[in-house]
A and B are shown apart, each in its own frame.
Chain A
Amino acid sequence: MLECRAISKTYRIEGREVAALRDFDLHLPAGSLTVLVGPSGCGKTTALRLLAGLEQPTAGAIVRSGGKPLGVGYVFQEPRLMPWLSVARNVGFALEGRAPKPDITARVAEILDVMGLGDFADARPDQLSGGMASRAGLARALVTRPELLLLDEPFAALDAMTRRRLQAELVAVWQRLRPTIVFVTHDIEEAALLADSVCLMERGVIAERYANRVPRPRDPTDLAIVELRRAIIAGFEAGESRKSNT
């Protein structure tokens, strides 16, 4: 279990203090799938970077129960592949030197097949299309079977068909291995389809939470999903009007 307690994060931009997160609380039960949704600049990515340990909070703390540090997988907004490594070695990047070679080869081959990249194991990243590179980035995070999987708009650059397929694949991985997932998106439909729990963010805080118990597999046209989307949009619009009133 992981918890963000009263986290603040401020950046200094040209001498001005800009608050990315303000008293941000987030409770992540083990094995939960939480989606942070909100307009750009609301602090979603910052929350993810703090959870990954890429940045330290200005105030507050991230508390985890259970002693040993979690294995983290992170999917960045861009694929961020190493241009000098083949696709297979990019995907196995975090495993290299930490697992026997045949194990790495087998696990990488398996995840590449899942991602539809089996034929591109030996390709260089500059030979991949944008969507394929995104999938390679996702494969790199999944191959370590992390306990905490952080995804920052991983499917934003994909075509609608591929996005649907990878959303389903992500849910399948989650149901099989039960990592704790925090998924950042600005796509409300995506949030409603994927999440256990949707957190609507607004100017550095969580403005609203929505539990989502719709059984899986989910359909975007399912009435319960549509209602959840409607509720999130209403929450977002309420936030916008609060903003214009202040």
Chain B
Amino acid sequence: MRIGKSLPVWPLVALAIVATWAIGVAVTGVSRALLPSPALVVDAAQELAGSGQLAKHVRVSVTRLAAGFALSTLLALIAAFVFARVAWVRSVVEPPLEFLRQIPPLAMIPLLILWLGIGEAQKIGIITLACFFPIFLGTTGGIAQCDQKLIEVGRVSGLSPNEILLRVVLPSALPSVVIGLRIALGQGWRALVGAELVASSAGLGYLIEDAQNLARTDIVVVGVILIGTLGLASDWLFRHAIASAWPWVPVDRPHESNA
């Protein structure tokens, strides 16, 4: 999706999908409990927005995501930095990390509930687990791929190994870090909603879960559309922030190849 180059196609696509949906519901006469019409979904959205429910759930979810994303970014960058500089730490810590990476964050929910309770810490813990590995792998991969020729420039410029890491290796790893961050953002969203489905009293996952119990499929659809829209919006904002902060980083790459 290119922005500002030509007229974007996506509003037309969205319109076509909604039209197909509306016509399909009208023609088949499917029960509103199975699939409500777009009009009913808009009604439900207005109802939720009017009562302040929608804003509350969005705020709760976005806050959790931001906290988990920030925490995992910090941890992943520190870990990648230490790995790059201290070989023995890497050889000790890498095998258990590789093991942890195989475990879907949602499978950790029971343990995290036991350890962290059912409050914010547990949700943020899940998001942190989900976001950590894409960022960590993006950073270590970027560091490993740094052009040796640029490192030599650092060496003949009299830079210390730490200065080379900070001034040559990390900037050159940035495009790969950014890809990791984008993937992490997507994974974080998924994990967040998953965590909120299980034990929660607020957030978009809870909104969906609660609506399901009340047989309010229209609200479920509102939640689903909102999650997708917020995910797209956060990715869009992220790409634009990157493009303006670091213009040499290519950000328009295919997304979430390992999702």
Chain A residues with Cβ below 8 Å from B156 are 52-54, 72-74
Do residues A82 and B149 form an inter-chain contact, with CB atoms below 8 A? no
Digit string of A14-29 for contact with B (CB within 8 Å is 1, else 0)? 0000000000000000
Given contacts A83-B248, A84-B172, A124-B248, 16 further A-B contacts (CB under 8 A): A52-B156, A53-B155, A53-B156, A54-B152, A72-B156, A72-B158, A73-B156, A76-B152, A80-B152, A80-B153, A82-B150, A82-B153, A82-B171, A84-B171, A84-B248, A124-B247
Binding site for A on B (CB under 8 A): 149-150, 152-153, 155-159, 163, 167-168, 171-172, 174, 246-248
Chain A residues with Cβ below 8 Å from B172 are 82-84
Partner of B153, one of A76, A84, A96: A76
Partner of A76, one of B149, B163, B168, B248: B149
Q: Could you give 17 example pairs across A and B, Cβ below 8 Å? A: A52-B156, A53-B155, A53-B156, A54-B152, A72-B158, A78-B149, A82-B168, A82-B171, A83-B248, A84-B171, A84-B172, A85-B171, A94-B157, A94-B158, A97-B163, A124-B248, A144-B157
Binding site for B on A (CB under 8 A): 52-54, 71-74, 76, 78, 80, 82-85, 93-94, 96-98, 124, 126, 144
Instruction: Give chain B nearest CB distance to A181 CB in angstroms.
Output: 15
Chain B residues with Cβ below 8 Å from A85 are 171
Do residues A126 and B248 form an inter-chain contact, with CB atoms below 8 A? yes
Query: Would you call the interface of chain A mostly helix, strand, loop, or mixed?
Result: loop
Chain B residues with Cβ below 8 Å from A98 are 158
Query: Would you call the interface of chain B mostly helix, strand, loop, or mixed?
Result: helix
A71 vs B157: C-alpha distance in the bound complex, in angstroms? 9
Chain B residues with Cβ below 8 Å from A124 are 247-248
Residue of A nearest to B174 (CB): A84
A222 vs B144: C-alpha distance in the bound complex, in angstroms? 52
Chain A residues with Cβ below 8 Å from B248 are 83-84, 124, 126
A126 vs B249: C-alpha distance in the bound complex, in angstroms? 12
Chain A residues with Cβ below 8 Å from B155 are 53-54
Chain A residues with Cβ below 8 Å from B171 are 82, 84-85
A98 vs B160: C-alpha distance in the bound complex, in angstroms? 12
A202 vs B158: C-alpha distance in the bound complex, in angstroms? 31
Chain A residues with Cβ below 8 Å from B150 are 80, 82
Residue among A74, A82, A144 facing the most chain B CB atoms (10 A cut-off) = A82
* The 4 A-B residue pairs with the shortest CB-CB distance in the complex, in nearest-first order: A94-B157, A74-B156, A84-B171, A80-B153
A215 vs B150: C-alpha distance in the bound complex, in angstroms? 38
A78 vs B168: C-alpha distance in the bound complex, in angstroms? 17
Chain B residues with Cβ below 8 Å from A93 are 153, 157, 167
A93 vs B159: C-alpha distance in the bound complex, in angstroms? 10
Instruction: Give chain B nearest CB distance to A81 CB in angstroms.
Output: 8
A98 vs B156: C-alpha distance in the bound complex, in angstroms? 14
Residue of B nearest to A52 (CB): B156
A98 vs B152: C-alpha distance in the bound complex, in angstroms? 19
Chain B residues with Cβ below 8 Å from A96 are 167
A78 vs B167: C-alpha distance in the bound complex, in angstroms? 20
A76 vs B157: C-alpha distance in the bound complex, in angstroms? 12
Chain A residues with Cβ below 8 Å from B158 are 71-72, 94, 98
Q: Given A94-B158, A126-B248, answer yes or no on A80-B174 (Cβ-Cβ < 8 Å).
A: no
Instruction: Give chain A nearest CB distance to B117 CB in angstroms.
Output: 43
